[in-house]
Amino acid sequence: MPVTPTYPGVYVEEIPSGVRTITGVPTSITAFIGRAPRGPVDEPVTLNSFGDFERTFGGLWSESTLGFSVQDFFLNGGGQALVVRVTGAGSTTALLVDATHSLSLKASSEGAWANQLRARIDQDVLPASAAALGVDPDDLFNLTVRDGATGETEVFANVTFVESSRRLDRILVAQSRLVRATSLGSAVAPHAAATAAVWTDNTQSSPVSTAGNNDTGLAQADVVGSESAKTGLYALEKADLFNLLVIPPYTAAGDTDSAVWPIAAAYCERRRAMLLIDPPAAWASKDAAKTGLTTGAGAANFTTSKNAALYFPRIVRGNPLHDNMLESFAPSGAVAGVFSRTDAARGVWKAPAGLEATLNGVVDLSVPLTDPENGELNPLGLNCLRIRPAVGPTVWGARTRQGDDRLASEWKYVPVRRLALFLEESLYRGLQWVVFEPNDEPLWSQIRLNAGSFLQSLFRQGAFQGRTPQEAYFVKCDRETTTQNDIDRGIVNIVVGFAPLKPAEFVILKIQQIAGQILT
């Protein structure tokens, strides 16, 4: 702040430099939406490994493909995932601990997993604990809850039904992963002393009632959810950022409802993310894919969004739940992992395709494709998975859903679109400080300095084409972009341009025979 000189001497004043570093956002946080055997419902949970998924959502499950998709993601180099568990007509049920005194608990989330819950009360507490809480010693007890399927046990010591800092319902909300209190009792009636059979003897611990404790299959409405209630797809509103969206198949036919794709694509455009679309299970040949994409039932629902990409065919891998029998699975989870691996190794501007884009854990593809067949599908904006000599299954396409040659879109390629989304999100977050600043040349020069420095760092990493920064990018923010009328309306206009790198999709070798020199 300015110094006010009052005495003869030397004063020190720190002057702001105007440098506000813009940091690039992550590029491959992948959101998954699907059905799981357990875990929070309609809440995006951050996972950093498949082990996190197993602990939170129960791991692989024969009734859902979500776990397989998440496993493929991490197996192929995925870094961070957001998983939203959605349920159909599922319900929780009361877990009666002491019916005589009206205490009842319920499972923390829907699903048959809760059928293995057991709970028990004891009064092995110290009178001093009651005195410290200001409650009668007879009102204090311990609650123990156990999940018989996993062995996870939770102990809540020195809790009570009466008003205090240790009231049971509040303690369970803050600390329990297994149960919640639906009603509190009026007094404590502990069970008899525990024996070795405490969790199997219902006279010593109370089990959950299995009536109504289920989680049925999903429908389109369950996956899409409600925007106002932030459920289903819109539960991602609770997440700060995601870059890729995967919706594994959930219907009885092994597909995702085709009507979900345009809704999901529109949401991705709003959140500056990419949607990875899986091919229908009925696409068992090149002709079926070509017909289904252009004139088949539901073809219009595959969307022409610039923020979506479709991959074909499905991958074949072992199913650990069926003695590693080879089965067909949707490719989107594995492809998302390839995106993440490529971003970490080369950058978001590198196409997630080619000989480096191998599919780990994939044994085969459901439909083997030849070069001519690939040549029929690629111009339609359908990215093919191919088995290449020496490297095996790889991603062999990098087009968005606007990659159809007939659309002549500037957003034809996945890396170009993803680079633009990366720049938009990074600049959006990095320029929040501009709001309410004085709208004049000092502000404009700061914007040019900070945005230009960010783009220059990307240029040095090889994100843009061009030999010089002038050929690669520009930042304009001056009297030309922001007129006096804009200033009067409180607007500052920033124009950022960049020259994207486009993948070398077609490599053409020209070979010519050189005639021998003719001597004269």
Identify the pLDDT of residue 162.
83
Maximum CA extent, the chain: 120
CATH number at residue 181: 2.60.40
| Per-residue pLDDT band at 486 (split at 50, 70, 90) | very high
Contact 482, 491 (CB under 8 A): yes
- pLDDT, residue 465, reads 94
**Using CA atoms, how far apart are residues 61 and 53, in angstroms rounded to an integer?**
12
449 and 481 inside one domain: yes
Element containing residue 338 per DSSP (H, E): helix 332-345
Do 175 and 71 lie in one domain? The reply is no
Q: Pick the range with the lowest mean pLDDT from 38-52, 87-101, 144-158, 477-491.
A: 87-101
Per-residue pLDDT, averaged over 132-136, amounts to 80
Q: Is residue 421 part of a domain?
A: no
**Per-residue buried b or exposed e for 210-233, using 16+ beta carbons within 10 Å of the residue's own CB:** eeebbbeebeeebbbbeeeebbbb
Cα 63 to Cα 43: distance, rounded to the nearest angstrom:
20
Q: Is residue 170 within 8 Å of residue 163, measured between CB atoms?
A: no
Confidence at 98, pLDDT banded by 50, 70, 90:
low
In a domain, 253, yes or no: yes
Lay out the sheet containing 382-388: strands in order across: 45-47, 81-85, 30-34, 244-246, 274-277, 308-312, 382-388, 392-395
The residue among 487 and 207 whose pLDDT is bigger is: 487
Helices (H), 284-370: 286-294, 332-345
Q: Write the single-letter amino acid at 502.
A: K
Answer yes or no: do 407 and 448 share one domain: no
**Domain check: are 316 and 369 in the same one?**
yes
Question: 129 and 14, same structural domain?
Answer: no
Provide the percentage of residues in the chain whose pLDDT is more than 70: 91
pLDDT for the residue numbered 483: 95
pLDDT of 457 strictly over 90: yes
Confidence of residue 426 (pLDDT cuts 50, 70, 90): very high
The last residue of a domain, from among 207, 238, 273: 207
DSSP bridge partners of 244: 30, 274
- The amino acid occupying position 503 is P
Answer yes or no: is 273 within a domain.
Answer: yes
Q: Are 367 and 284 in contact (CB under 8 A)?
A: yes
Q: Are residues 180 and 262 in the same domain?
A: no
Q: Find where tokens 């959810």 sit.
A: 225
Q: Residue 498's pLDDT is what?
A: 96
Identify the pLDDT of residue 133: 79
405: in domain: yes
Q: What are the tokens at 127?
A: 């009178």
Share of the chain above pLDDT 90, in %: 66
Note whether 44 and 138 are same-domain residues: no
CATH code, domain with 391: 3.40.50.11780
Amino acid letter, 289: A
The β-bridge relationship of strands 382-388 and 244-246 is unpaired
The interaxial angle of helices 441-461 and 414-430, nearest 10 deg, is 140
Give tens-digit pLDDT for 301-319.
678 899 999 999 999 999 9
**324: how many CB neighbours lie within 10 A of its CB?**
11
What is the domain count for the chain?
Answer: 3
pLDDT digits (tens, 9 = 90+) for 150-208: 888 999 988 888 888 888 889 999 999 888 888 777 666 555 556 656 777 666 677 76
Residue 91 has pLDDT above 60, yes or no: no
Residues 358 and 507 in one domain: no
Verify that 164 and 143 share a domain, yes or no: yes
Rounded to 10 degrees, the C-alpha dihedral 316/320/321/322 comes to 60
By the 10 Å C-beta count (0-12 exposed, 13-18 middle, 19+ buried), 318 is classed as: middle
Q: Is the pLDDT of residue 473 over 90?
A: yes
Cα atoms found within 13 Å of the Cα of residue 222, Cβ hemisphere only: 19
Q: What is the pLDDT of residues 230-248, one digit of tens each?
A: 999 999 999 999 999 999 9
Q: Where does a domain end: 159, 175, 207?
A: 207
Considering the domain boundaries, does residue 34 fall inside one? yes
| 34/179 same-domain check | no
The Cα 309–Cα 402 span in angstroms is 9
Cis peptide bond prior to 313, omega within 30° of 0:
yes
The pair of three-digit structure tokens given for residue 5, joined into one six-digit string: 């000189």
**Domain assignment of residue 431, yes or no:** no
Domain boundary among 415, 448, 483: 415
**Residue 100 phi, psi (nearest 5):** -60, -35
Contacts of 406 (CB under 8 A, 6+ apart): none
The amino acid sitting at 425 is E
395 and 446 co-located in one domain: no
Using pLDDT thresholds of 50, 70 and 90, give the confidence band for residue 101: low
Distance separating alpha carbons of residues 457 and 96, to the nearest angstrom: 61
| pLDDT given for residue 415 in this prediction | 97
Rounded to the nearest integer, the mean pLDDT of the chain is 89
pLDDT at 419: 97
**Cβ–Cβ under 8 Å, residues 482 and 444:** yes
DSSP state string for 364-380: EESS---HHHHHHHGGG
Same domain, 233 and 305: yes
Report whether pLDDT(298) > 60: no
Query: Sorting pLDDT into bands at 50, 70 and 90, what band is 127?
Result: confident
Q: Which of 127-131, 384-388, 455-459 has the lowest mean pLDDT?
A: 127-131
230-235 LR contacts (CB < 8 Å, sep 24+): 230/42, 231/42, 231/86, 232/33, 232/42, 232/84, 232/86, 233/33, 233/84, 233/260, 233/263, 233/264, 233/267, 234/267, 235/33, 235/42, 235/43, 235/44, 235/84, 235/86
Range of the domain at 224: 30-88+217-415
Asked if residue 459 is part of any domain, the answer here is yes
- DSSP three-state, residue 30: strand
8-state DSSP, 302: G
32: which strand partners? 83, 246
Q: Please, are residues 243 and 27 in contact by the beta-carbon 8 Å criterion?
A: yes
Flag whether 196 is in a domain.
yes
